[in-house]
Amino acid sequence: MSRKKPAIEEIIENDVAALRESKRIKKDELAEIQKELRRYEAALKSLTGKASARKRKNKEENGGLS
**pLDDT given for residue 46 in this prediction:** 87
**CA distances in angstroms from 59 to 16, 35, 37, 41, 44, listed in the order given:** 48, 20, 20, 16, 14
* pLDDT confidence bin for 63, thresholds 50/70/90: low
25-47 in b/e form (b: 16+ CB < 10 A) is eeeeeeeeeeeeeeeeeeeeebe
Model confidence pTM above 0.75: no
pLDDT digits (tens, 9 = 90+) for 10-35: 999 999 999 999 999 999 999 999 99
Amino acid 28: pLDDT:
98
Average pLDDT, the chain: 84
